Amino acid sequence: MLDSKGIVRIPASMVGVLLLGPGTDVSHRAIELIGDTGTSMVWVGERGVRHYAHGRALAHSSRLLERQANLVSNTRSRLSVARKMYQMRFPNEDVSNLTMQQLRGREGARVREVYRKQSKLHNVEWTKREYNPDDFEAGTPVNQALSAGHVSLYGLVYSIIVALGMSPGLGFVHTGHDLSFVYDIADLYKADLTIPIAFEIAGESLPDEDIGRKTRLRVRDAFVDGKIMKTIVKDLQYLMDVEAEEEMFIDVINLWDDKEELVKHGVNYEEVPQ
């Protein structure tokens, strides 16, 4: 690693994950070495605000990925996980018997109330969430701030999901998109993180200010202490009903068997003729 103080040599095997931000130069040989040691690499924006690409996952175990695929492939377990996601939004209520239609209705009412409170708190006019993905500037200042803030949150969530070896496309509430699971998880934090920041930015900004950049920087600053990252990891483990974090990083390969659950890898199983 080269910085203003000179060259610092860091053993790649001691690094769990590298977040490569703007201005980073990495040689092909370095990437080859890092890949061989199993270190995860994620190309991100400032402070991890955006996710651009990633290399090998931080987790060596496929436990979370297999668990995610198993849960999403069964209607009953998928509904159970979706209810857990909604329960996290309504901690003082029992949503265990509500249908997906009822849960969506409750969530819609909750978000509208969040918008109403933030609008009043920051004296920002609010009508509805309205934006054009192809024309950012066409939105109102608060809608621009909401879009910029949410995209930043998606980048952080994506980085964590892929670092843990999970699939960003296997969603439980959202479906049919390669970022479905990212949207599922990001929705858990918008009301407490990006929505308040967006209304705050809209309320204090002048007409000629760059709302998008200002919002991204404010969201970036909210990520710095790392608390939201730890919360996301903990919530992912809760939703997948996986507690043993250390097992995700054990580099073990087994062979699947239709009679025995797992058999040892690296063994010649050729049957000896009788």
DSSP characters over the chain? -EETTEE----GGG-SEEEE-TT----HHHHHHHHHHT-EEEEESGGG--EEEE-S-S----HHHHHHHHHHTSHHHHHHHHHHHHHHH-TTS--TT--HHHHHHHHHHHHHHHHHHHHHHHT---------TT-GGGS-HHHHHHHHHHHHHHHHHHHHHHHTT--TT--SSS-SSTTHHHHHHHTTTTTTTHHHHHHHHHHH--TTS-HHHHHHHHHHHHHTTSHHHHHHHHHHHHHHT---GGGGG----EEE-SSSSEEESS---PPPP-
Q: Is 174 assigned a ligand-binding role in the annotation?
A: yes
Instruction: Pick out the residues of the known binding site.
Output: 107, 174, 187
Instruction: Pick out the residues of the known binding site for Mn(2+).
Output: 107, 174, 187
